[in-house]
C-alpha cells in the first residue's frame, strides 16, 4: 500500500475513533451485558467458544446489520458450513484500546473460552500510545487467558501505526508486535487485516475508513485462513 493511503486511512480513523469516553464506556457496558446474556443461554450447550476481543472492526461499525455481516458473524457462518462445533462471541467495541481490552478480559473469560482472537492496538496507534504500553497490555491479555484456561488457543491480529506519527513511533509499534510474536511462539499471528482493503473505495464505507460488508468478507477470509490452524 502506498504511504499516502496509510496517511489518509489513519487521519480519518483518528476522527472516527474519538467517540467520547462516555460513549465508549456505555458500549463496553452494553457488550459485557450482551456477553453475560449469551453465556447464560449457551452454558448448557456442548459447543466450544471463540471469543473476538476487538474494536470497531469486530463491532462492524457502520454496517446495516453488523450481527450478520461483521467479520465475526461471517466466521460463524464458515464454522457452521464446515460443521465445526463452535460458537462465536463478538466482544468488539468501537474505540476500544488495548487498555480497555485488558480491563474487560477477566469478565469475558468467566465463560469458557477455547479460542481467543485479539484484534486490538489500532486505536492505541491513532492516539500515539507508547508501543511499550501496547505490548504490555496485549501480553497481559494473553497471560490472563492462558492462566485461566491452560489449553486456550490465541490468535493475535497485528496492527500498524499511522506513518504521520513519525518513523520512530511506527518502527516501535511494529517492533512491539514483533516482540509479542517472538515471546509467544504458540500464539498464531494474523497479518494486518486492513492491508489490501484500506484505500480501496469499493471495500470501504463513505468515510473511506471502515470496511463495507464486502470488506468484512475479505477480513473474514484472511482470519479464517489462520483460525483453521487451531480448530
Give the predicted TM-score (pTM) of the model.
Answer: 0.82
Distance CA 153, CA 112 (A): 12
Residue 81: enclosing H or E segment and its boundaries? Answer: helix 71-81
Residue 214's alpha-carbon distances to 34, 116, 224, in angstroms, are 26, 24, 15
Which run of H or of E encompasses 226? helix 213-227
Q: Kindly report, residue by residue over 146-199, the tens digit of the pLDDT.
A: 999 999 999 999 999 989 999 999 999 999 999 999 999 999 999 999 999 988
pLDDT digits (tens, 9 = 90+) for 68-80: 999 999 999 999 9
Radius of gyration for the alpha carbons in the chain, expressed in angstroms and rounded = 17
pLDDT at residue 29, as a whole number: 72
Residue 43 neighbours by CB under 8 Å, 6+ apart: 111
Q: How far apart are CA 138 and CA 125, in angstroms?
A: 13
Catalytic annotation, residues:
56, 207, 210
Return d(Cα 202, Cα 93) in angstroms, integer: 24
Task: Find out whether 186 and 200 touch, Cβ atoms under 8 Å.
Answer: no
Euclidean distance between CA atoms 217 and 15, whole angstroms: 25
Mean pLDDT taken over the chain: 89
Burial class (CB in 10 A: 0-12, 13-18, 19+), 84: middle
Q: Which helix (H) or strand (E) holds 204?
A: none
Work out the number of other CB atoms within 10 angstroms of the CB of residue 80: 13
Give the helix/strand (H/E) hosting 175.
Answer: helix 167-183
Amino acid at each position: 500500500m502506498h504511504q499516502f493511503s496509510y496517511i489518509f486511512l489513519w487521519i480519518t480513523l483518528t476522527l472516527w475513533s474519538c467517540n467520547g469516553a462516555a460513549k465508549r464506556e456505555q458500549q463496553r457496558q452494553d457488550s459485557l451485558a450482551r456477553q453475560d446474556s449469551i453465556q447464560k443461554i449457551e452454558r448448557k450447550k456442548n459447543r466450544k467458544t471463540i471469543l473476538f476481543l476487538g474494536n470497531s472492526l469486530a463491532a462492524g461499525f457502520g454496517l446495516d446489520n453488523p450481527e450478520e455481516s461483521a467479520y465475526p458473524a461471517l466466521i460463524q457462518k464458515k464454522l457452521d458450513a464446515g460443521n465445526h462445533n463452535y460458537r462465536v462471541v463478538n466482544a468488539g467495541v468501537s474505540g476500544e484500546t488495548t487498555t480497555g481490552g485488558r480491563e474487560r478480559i477477566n469478565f469475558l473469560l468467566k465463560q469458557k473460552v477455547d479460542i481467543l482472537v485479539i484484534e486490538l492496538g489500532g486505536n492505541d496507534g491513532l492516539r500515539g500510545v507508547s508501543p511499550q504500553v501496547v505490548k504490555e497490555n496485549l501480553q497481559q491479555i494473553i497471560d490472563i487467558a492462558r492462566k485461566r484456561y491452560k489449553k486456550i488457543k490465541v490468535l493475535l491480529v497485528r496492527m500498524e501505526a499511522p506513518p504521520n506519527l513519525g518513523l520512530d513511533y511506527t518502527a516501535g509499534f511494529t517492533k512491539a508486535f514483533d516482540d509479542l510474536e517472538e515471546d509467544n511462539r504458540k500464539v498464531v499471528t494474523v497479518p494486518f487485516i486492513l492491508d489490501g482493503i484500506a484505500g480501496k473505495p469499493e471495500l470501504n464505507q463513505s468515510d473511506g475508513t471502515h470496511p463495507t460488508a464486502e470488506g468484512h468478507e475479505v477480513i473474514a477470509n484472511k482470519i479464517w485462513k489462520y483460525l483453521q490452524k487451531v480448530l
